[in-house]
Amino acid sequence: MKLTDLVNDVLSAPQWTLFLDRDGVINERIVGGYVLHYDELKILPFVKEALHLLKGKFYKIVVVSNQQSVGKGLCQYDEVVQIHNQLNKELQKENIAVDHFFFCPHKAEDGCECRKPKTGMAFEAQKMFPEIDFKHSIMVGDMITDIQFGHSLGMTTIYVGEKEVLNRDQIVELADFSFENLYEFAQLFKSK
Ligand SMILES: [Mg+2]
Ligand SMILES: [Zn+2]
């Protein structure tokens, strides 16, 4: 599918869902660490502007995030929920809150069904919002696991990220489209 066709389809069909990864897409990814408190969560530049452009164009906007900090005992499940509530409160001030934050609290070695690239969180989202149709969904992420997640569900996949990532070529090859960041992607929906 061409990019212009995708944008036109999103705008004309009512049921498109936007799945967003969190770390590296909405907020700065802490390399080698985790966001354990809300004050460590730094919203990336122009993310709010991006959400302004995207909000209302999709049936739902949901976040799907791997947070193995919980499984590693670095923070509690409820603390992650709190971080998401606070982030959404901040976004709500501008009417750009996301519809729900889904996260996997397990460690990589737990072998759960919800840690990306496994697809469990997509089905959780569908349980909460039954009109979600993966064929009419876009997954935006900054890691190959995000792209694999979207890919195996039949979603359109968007890679966003800096140029110097190690396996960038591999990610770009697998993703349907690539952008520098969420705002660059969101600009496709400008004044539409
Ligand atoms: Mg990420
Ligand atoms: Zn999990």
- Domain positions in the chain: 3-189
- Out of 5, 9, 23, 133, the active site residue is 23
Distance from the alpha carbon of residue 189 to the mean position of ligand 1, in angstroms: 23
d(CA 53, CA 187): 7
Tell me whether residue 142 is one of the annotated catalytic residues: no
- Out of 9, 21, 99, 133, the active site residue is 21
Measured in degrees and rounded to the nearest 5, phi and psi for residue 111 equal: 65, 35
The predicted structure's pLDDT at residue 167: 86
Distance from the alpha carbon of residue 12 to the mean position of ligand 2, in angstroms: 34
CB 69 within 8 Å of CB 75: yes
d(CA 77, CA 112): 16
The predicted structure's pLDDT at residue 192: 61
d(CA 18, CA 157): 10
d(CA 50, CA 78): 28
How is 27-49 classified by DSSP, letter by letter?
A: B---TTS---SGGG--BPTTHHH
Distance from the alpha carbon of residue 179 to the mean position of ligand 1, in angstroms: 14
Residue type, 101: F
Q: What is the mean pLDDT of each run of 10 residues along the chain (192 residues)?
A: 93 93 96 92 97 96 97 96 98 98 97 98 98 97 97 98 82 95 96 66
Tell me whether residue 23 is one of the annotated catalytic residues: yes
Q: How many CB atoms lie within 10 A of CB 176?
A: 17
Q: For the structural domain made of 3-189, what CATH number should be given?
A: 3.40.50.1000
